[in-house]
Structure 1
Amino acid sequence: MHHIFKTMLIVLVSLFMTASFTVNASETAKPWQLKTQNGEVISLEQYANKPVILHFWATWCPYCKKLQPTLVALQKKYEAQGVELISISFNEDEGALPQDEIHRRGYSFLTAVTGEEVAQLYGVRGTPTTFFINRKNEIIWKTSSSDKADPRFDLALQEIIKK
């Protein structure tokens, strides 16, 4: 009896979490354009028709550092489906070099700098904040979680690649 209850609970939680992503799909990701640490201009428009993980972070944020390996692993897992990982650094300490920090951590994803205005545009209140955007430029999920074991990260990726 206990085993049946446990199985039913897992199924119900999974169904609830899957349904929660489609509810948020009405908000469109707002366009932005920023520069990287090296002065290269990047914009959301460059990633049109691609599923995107948009990660707001800061070099001093321990929760961002904890989450980034998960985001990189998810991007690699769904790379064949065109998933892109872009980050926007904001609220940095003076002299911070976000792209250098990303490389020091062993990652190669692109990060825009001085993203305070874009963070405000997206309603970001703290770090980390991550958006999962589908091919139609719809925000499927916004989260401030840094819990690497949160199954919603993978579920959100499954949602953004199918639309």
Structure 2
Amino acid sequence: MKTRIGFKKLAVRTLPLALAALVLSSQPAAAILQKGEKAPAIKLTTTSGQPITLSNYRGYVLVMDFFATWCIPCKEAIPHLNALNSKYGKQGLQILGVSVDEGSDRDVKDFVVARHLTYPVAVAGDEMQADYGLRSIPTIYVINKKGMVAEKFQGYSDQTAKAIEDTIKRLLAE
């Protein structure tokens, strides 16, 4: 009986990841964005109607969280990102949620409200996903004050959360 319960839990956790991999693998092949490279340009509009470009974040440490509303690890990252926003926002941290959901922007807006996201969220098109070389979600990029990719994290765990915070502290001190 224990084995079946364990299998069900495993299936519930891995099925969304497998679906995310399938969706993202159907995208055209893109170059993998590397640490130390200039972050690709962005031109988005947030769910609240604000236009956003990468230049809006010049001089700030930017955490870009590529997520989907149906992704379980993506949902698990949100409380940590909200906490980072609260803790380091006044020191120069900015967080931008970037949804890869297809379909209605209304679903993303409802998700933002239901999950109490404290940072702006926009929906990325295929071109932006290709520019950032997305292969899985969540994918979190940390971009330094000069617009360069400082770190890239794929997936989410307690270790990832600590590494993201350590990176933020280091970059804010520069």
Q: Does 1:142 align with 2:125?
A: no
Gap regions ≥5 residues in structure 2: 1-33
1:99-137 CA deviation, whole Å, 9 max, x = no partner?
Answer: 321111112311111433212101111210001111111
SS in 2 for 1:59: coil
Q: Which deviates more, 24-33 or 98-107?
A: 24-33
Contact 1:25 1:139 in 2 (8 A): yes
In the aligned structure 2, how far is the partner of 1:161 from the partner of 1:36? 25
Looking at structure 1, the residues matched to 49 and 89 of structure 2 have their Cα atoms a distance apart, in angstroms, of 26
- Contact 2:35 / 2:152 at 8 angstroms: preserved in 1? no
| Alignment-derived partner of residue 104 in structure 2 | 95
TM-score (norm 1): 0.77
Aligned to 1:120: 130
Counterpart of 1:62 (choices 59, 64, 72) is: 72
2:82–2:118 contact (8 Å) kept in structure 1:
no
User: How far apart are the structure 1 equivalents of 2:139 and 2:61?
Assistant: 17
Deviations 1:49-90 (A, max 9, x none): 111111111111111001111111112211221100101111
Moved over 4 A (4+): none
Give the CA RMSD over aligned residues.
1.8
Aligned to 1:86: 96
In structure 1, list runs of 5 or more residues that go unmatched: 1-23
TM-score (norm 2): 0.72
1:131 aligns with one of 121, 125, 141: 141
Answer whether contact 2:139 2:152 (CA < 8 A) is retained: yes
Contact 1:102 1:109 in 2 (8 A): no
**Match of residue 164 from structure 2:** 153
Match for 1:70: what amino acid? Answer: H
**Distance change (3 Å), C-alpha of 1:134 and 1:113:** same
Tell me which amino acid in the other structure corresponds to 2:72.
Answer: P
SS at match of 2:121: strand
Sort the Cα spacing of 1:77 and 1:38 in 2 relative to 1 into closer, same or farther, 3 A.
closer
Measure the CA separation in 2 of the matches of 1:124 and 1:108.
24
Count of matched residue pairs: 139
Identity %: 28
Residue 158 of structure 2 aligns to a residue in which SS? coil
Q: Distance in 2 between matches of 1:46 and 1:104?
A: 27
Are 1:34 and 2:39 matched, yes or no?
Answer: no
Q: Distance in 1 between matches of 2:97 and 2:136?
A: 14
